[in-house]
Structure 1
C-alpha cells in the first residue's frame, strides 16, 4: 500500500515537474521570438529614418497634412519661416557630446499667427539663461530647415521625473505643457516639434543639429540570450532525466 502511494506520489511530482519545464520553456521561447519581432521592427524603423532624413525638405504645411491623415511624420525634412519669441524659451534637460545641459525649445511664430516649437539646439548648464548668449537670440524673420518630430502622448516611463514648470526644466517633451506654460492656446499651436539643422547660430549657441539617429538595436543579442537559456534548460532537464533513469 505504502509502495503504491510512493509510486503515485513520484508520478505526480514528475508530472508537475514536466508541466513546469514546458511552461518555462514556452516563456523563454516566446521572449526570444518577441525580441526577433522587435529586431525586425527596429531595422525597418532605422531604414525609414535613413530614407526620410535624406529626402527633399517640404513646407511645414505638408507635414501637417501628413499628420492630419494619420501618417508618420518622424524625421521628415521640413522648412518653416517665422519669428522667434525668445522670451518663451523652454529648456529640456539633455546631453551633447558628453556634456550636460539643455536643448532650447523656442516658439517660432509663423505668418498665419500660429506657433511651432523649434529645438534650436544645445546649450551648457551655465548658458541656460538667454542673457548669457544674447548673440544667438536672432531677431526678425528666420528660415529654418530641420526635421519634424512628433509629440509624446504621455510620460515615457515612471522613472522619468515630472517636468518642473516653475524652473522651466523639462525632463520629457510634453508639447502641451510647453505651450500652456507659455500661454499659447492649443488652436494656435502646430502639434509637433521641429529639430533645427546644424546651421550655426551667431555666437555659437545654441548648437544646432542635435537630433539623435543612433538608436540602440540590441534585440538580436537579447533574442539569442533567451533562446540560449531555453536550450540550456532542455539540456539540463535531459541530463537530469538520463541520470535518474540510470
Structure 2
C-alpha cells in the first residue's frame, strides 16, 4: 500500500484539477447562456436613442454590446474608411471578401459616432464608384451598438499611414482622421437600403461560440478515466504484492 501512496497523491491532485476545470466550464456555460439571452433581448427590443456623450465612459461590452439604438446626424463622407472584411455570402449575392464602410456621423451637439454603414465588394472600395450612397443631408441611423473590435492572431495591424484598416477601432480611426469627441463604440447600421444599393447594411453576425458543456464533459471524462486507470494500476500492483 505504501508503494501506491505517491502515485495516489499525484492522481488525487490531478483529479481535483480536472474536476475543477469541468466545474469552471459549467460556470462559463451559465454565463454564456445568460449573455446570449440578454443579447437576444437587446437586438429585438425597440431602438432607443444612442447614449449621450456624458454617458460614454459607462458604456461596456456586458451591458451595451448589440443594443438596438438610433442616432441622427450628418455623415462625414470625406473621412470614410474601408475596413477589410470577409462576410458570409448572402441571398442577394453580397458577401465574400470586401470592406466595411465606416463613416463618422456628426450629431447636432458636435459629437461623433462612427457608423459601419455596411459591406461593399472589393471592386467598390473607392467611394467614387458608389456616389449615390453618399448622402450629405440629415440622416437617421438605426442599428446595433458594437464595442471596439480586437484583431485575431493572424489579423494584420491597421496601417494608418496607408489608410489600410483591418480592425474597427474607433479610437485609432478618430486619431488618424483628426476627429475629437468620438464615441468609444460604433453602430452597425441595419438593413435599411442605401441609395444605389451600397453599402449593404444589416450584415451583423450575432453569434457566440458556446462549447462550454462539451469542454466540461471532456474534463469530467478525463477525470473519470484517470480514476479508472489508477484503479486498474493499483489492483494490478496489489495482486502482484507477495503474500505475508
TM-score band, normalised by the shorter chain? 0.7 to 0.9
Which residue in 1 is equivalent to 2:201?
Answer: 208
1:96 pairs, out of 87, 90, 114, with: 87
Which residue in 1 is equivalent to 2:229?
Answer: 236
Q: Does 1:147 align with 2:137?
A: no
Deviation, structure 1 residue 38: 1.0
The superposition leaves residues 169-222 of structure 1 with CA deviations (integer Å, 9 ceiling, x where unpaired) of: 33332211010001102xx21222111111011222111012221221111111
Supply the distance in 2 between the matched residues of 1:169 and 1:34 (Cα, whole angstroms): 40
Alignment of 1:65-84 (within 5 A): 67-69=56-58, 72-84=63-75
Which residue in 2 is equivalent to 1:4?
Answer: none
Report the TM-score when normalising by structure 1: 0.85
SS in 2 for 1:164: coil
Which residue in 2 is equivalent to 1:34?
Answer: 24
Report the TM-score when normalising by structure 2: 0.86
* Structure 1 spans left out of the alignment, 5+ residues: 1-9
Deviation, structure 1 residue 49: 0.5
SS in 2 for 1:143: strand
* Structure 2 spans left out of the alignment, 5+ residues: 90-95, 240-244
Q: Does 1:53 align with 2:48?
A: no
The number of residue pairs the alignment matches comes to: 231
Which residue in 1 is equivalent to 2:159?
Answer: 164
Deviation, structure 1 residue 15: 3.1
Supply the distance in 1 between the matched residues of 2:67 and 2:55 (Cα, whole angstroms): 10
Supply the distance in 2 between the matched residues of 1:160 and 1:15 (Cα, whole angstroms): 50
Q: Does 1:180 align with 2:175?
A: yes
Supply the distance in 2 between the matched residues of 1:31 and 1:57 (Cα, whole angstroms): 40
SS in 2 for 1:56: coil
Q: Is the 8 A contact 1:53 1:147 kept in 2?
A: yes
Distance 1:29 1:169, change over 3 A: farther
Q: Is the 8 A contact 2:171 2:182 kept in 1?
A: no
